[in-house]
Amino acid sequence: MLRGIRGEIHSSCRWIDLKKITLAALMLFALIGLSAAAVRTDGLKSGALSEEKNTSFTFEQSVQGNGYFMTYMYAKEGNLEMKNYAHGSGSIDNQATLAAYHMERARHPIAEDWNDYNLSCIQFDEDNSMVYAPMKIAVGTGYYAANPVDYSSLLKEKTWVKNYRASTSMHHEVEYAHALDKELSLLAKEKFNYTYDPIYEGDAVTQMKINEDVTDGKVHLGVLQGDQQWVTKDAVKNGATKIITKSPLTYTAWKHPAIEIDEDYWGTYHIEKNMTLDVPYKRIESGDDWLPCCFGGYMTMPTYYQKGSGGFGSNVKGVFDCTCSKAPKQAEFPRVY
């Protein structure tokens, strides 16, 4: 049984006599001009933006049989990725479900008051039993029907998940196995909320659960998570290689990870693993209002606004504190009576 993508596209198109709508179009021109000036799609000061889009995908399968098999699954949503790959000859009994979801929402009433919210999720569950056996399969009706193809491929299955929001990677691989009975559950979630002033807030969850029996094979398990840090312009000047514009959270190079697990097993094993990594983060930054002198006056402004290349300049202070002006001792042009 295989139930895959379900989608429907509804569309309609009809011809309209232009003569019948000319008058209505002329009456709407003024309204269209007014609405175009009030609503824009770029979120700039002169306009507003309200947008939301999402995608979802569900895949379920059940496969039983004997022969040669090769499967490949890949999904990417937002900052999440996963891949599942398997091949071998012999018997297989497989039940699998893959679900993926991604949503983006933007609310920009005005340029100084906006909110961006992204949410992504990938979930994969598999119950797989495979037993290796050399197979000869007749293919087609020609030469290979009379001379069956010999498939003698030991079992291999590989699953990995990556969460770029937290620089996290989890990897599980079985190679050269004669038998594999495995239950695997994989979950990756990430959300990011960006609100003006600004507030950066999010969470990244990565999880992999494994319960398996491997006969005469090799098993590899790996976890890697980059060390997180906040990167600023000053840090970039001092040698950092990357600057974050929208989200100030980034990670150091892979050669300096925060978590690193690398395991290899050769032979026959029963293995149970439950790996979960949750990386929440939040940062709040406050900024000065545009043209702060309009609110409290020049004398209440921070010194870096009062002078310097980013301010009004050091030679204008006397204008605001009135020290550059001296009252005359006597009138320059006395009155004539």
The per-residue pLDDT for range 223-277, each reduced to its tens digit, is 998 876 554 444 444 444 343 334 444 555 466 788 899 999 999 999 999 999 9
Spatial distance between the Cα atoms of 268 and 157, rounded to a whole number of angstroms: 16
The residue length of the chain stands at: 337
pTM equals 0.67
The two tokens of residue 248 are 């100030």
The closest of 8, 100, 12, 10 to 54, measured between CA atoms, is 100
Spatial distance between the Cα atoms of 64 and 93, rounded to a whole number of angstroms: 4
CB 170 within 8 A of CB 223: yes
pLDDT digits (tens, 9 = 90+) for 92-111: 999 999 999 999 998 887 65
The closest of 66, 60, 29, 35 to 48, measured between CA atoms, is 35
Is the confidence at residue 324, as pLDDT, over 60? yes
Q: Omega into 198 within 30° of 0, i.e. cis?
A: yes
pLDDT digits (tens, 9 = 90+) for 13-62: 332 343 333 334 334 333 333 333 333 333 344 457 788 899 999 999 99
**Pairing relation of β-strands 199-226 and 179-195?**
antiparallel
Pick the most confident of 68-77, 281-290, 324-333: 68-77
CB 137 within 8 A of CB 157: no
Q: What is the radius of gyration, based on Cα positions, of the chain? A: 33
**How many Cα neighbours within 13 Å face the side chain of 48?**
8
Torsion sign (Cα): 32, 33, 39, 41: positive
Percent of the chain residues topping a pLDDT of 90: 43
Instruction: Provide the pLDDT for residue 172.
Output: 97
**How many Cα neighbours within 13 Å face the side chain of 310?**
7
Binned at pLDDT 50, 70 and 90, residue 138 comes out as confident
Phi, psi of 287, deg, nearest 5: -120, 155
Instruction: Give exposure, 165-190, as e/b (b: 16+ Cβ within 10 Å).
Output: bbbbbbbbbbeebbbbbbebbbbbbb
Is the confidence at residue 337, as pLDDT, over 90? no
What are the strands, taking DSSP E only, across the chain? 2-3, 49-77, 80-110, 113-132, 135-137, 149-151, 155-163, 168-177, 179-195, 199-226, 228-230, 249-251, 257-284
CB 113 within 8 A of CB 195: no
The SS3 of residue 321 is helix
